């Protein structure tokens, strides 16, 4: 039987590209996304779609209930759903702050809380991959809610690695500048990276695939920065 990976925020950009990548590798894929229109545009074999809000506990419970009934297994959880919420700090409201934290961080907690028991029912071992960001370790003005949520993901990752081992490994991926679907940038923007280009969704997928399978079986609790070297580049003005 094909392995199953679930992906939050799987109808757009990173999530969509990762989902399609796993399908091409022969996996079954289930996605949950709050963007109903984007979900309706996706029609792929071996793909299960669920319209839901990752910060809503009942939506997560219902998602996994359907997963259990349809597949009776789960191997990998990829937490990806997120919103930006970039705003001047002094104009950021408490409700706006809470919304970012609820989706970007609490949503990850809920996905693991209700999904990991399904993984543990398998005879083999599983993997959880949390998509964070280089903004967890570096920032710019107006990033308070987003950066805090992404930094929280790193703490959640190593805590879960301790709680869920040895049968479930938990790792994080922190992307830098990754081009979204149909996005193009100037040559100078590419060349500022140490590798001479910005990243692609395929770069993220390749790392996620590695962390999802047994080739990374001795890796857990880690954060993998994938940014073309930008966090190692010293910049002065």
pLDDT tens per residue across span 6-33: 999 999 999 999 999 999 999 999 999 9
Q: Are 52 and 74 in contact (CB under 8 A)?
A: no
Q: Annotated catalytic residue: which of 64, 108, 114, 146?
A: 146
At the topology level, CATH places domain 4-232 in: Rossmann fold (3.40.50)
pLDDT at 47: 97
Read off the pLDDT band of 85 (50, 70, 90).
Answer: confident
Known catalytic residue: 146? yes
* Contacts of residue 120, Cβ cutoff 8 Å, sequence gap at least 6: 126, 167, 168
Give the Cα separation of 145 and 198 in Å (integer): 25
Residues 67 and 4: beta-carbon distance below 8 Å: yes
Nearest to residue 36, comparing CAs of 51, 54, 20, 49?
51
Structure tokens at 70: 């349809």
pLDDT tens profile 30-50: 999 999 999 999 998 999 999
Q: What is the pLDDT of residue 123?
A: 78
Please give the pLDDT value at position 122: 86
């Amino acid at each position: 039987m094909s392995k199953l990976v679930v992906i939050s925020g799987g109808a757009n950009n990173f999530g969509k590209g990762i989902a399609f990548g796993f399908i091409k590798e022969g996996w079954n894929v289930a996605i949950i996304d709050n963007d109903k229109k984007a979900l309706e545009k996706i029609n792929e074999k071996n793909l299960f779609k669920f319209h839901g809000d990752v910060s809503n506990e009942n939506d997560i419970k219902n998602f996994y209930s359907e997963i259990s009934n349809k597949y009776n297994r789960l191997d990998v959880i990829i937490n990806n759903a997120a919103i930006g919420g970039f705003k001047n700090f002094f104009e950021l409201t408490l409700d706006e702050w809470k919304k970012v934290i609820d989706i970007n961080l609490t949503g990850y907690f809920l996905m693991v809380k209700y999904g990991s028991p399904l993984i543990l029912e398998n005879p083999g071992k599983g993997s959880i991959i949390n998509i964070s960001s280089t903004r967890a370790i570096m920032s710019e003005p107006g990033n308070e809610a987003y950066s805090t949520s992404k930094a929280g993901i790193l703490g959640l990752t190593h805590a879960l690695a301790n709680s869920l081992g040895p049968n479930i490994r938990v790792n994080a991926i922190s992307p830098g500048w990754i081009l979204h679907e149909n996005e193009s940038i100037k040559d100078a923007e590419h060349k500022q990276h140490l590798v001479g280009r910005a990243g692609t969704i395929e770069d993220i997928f390749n790392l996620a695939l590695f962390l999802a399978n047994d080739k990374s079986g001795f890796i857990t609790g880690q954060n993998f920065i994938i940014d073309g070297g930008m966090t190692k580049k010293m910049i002065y003005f």
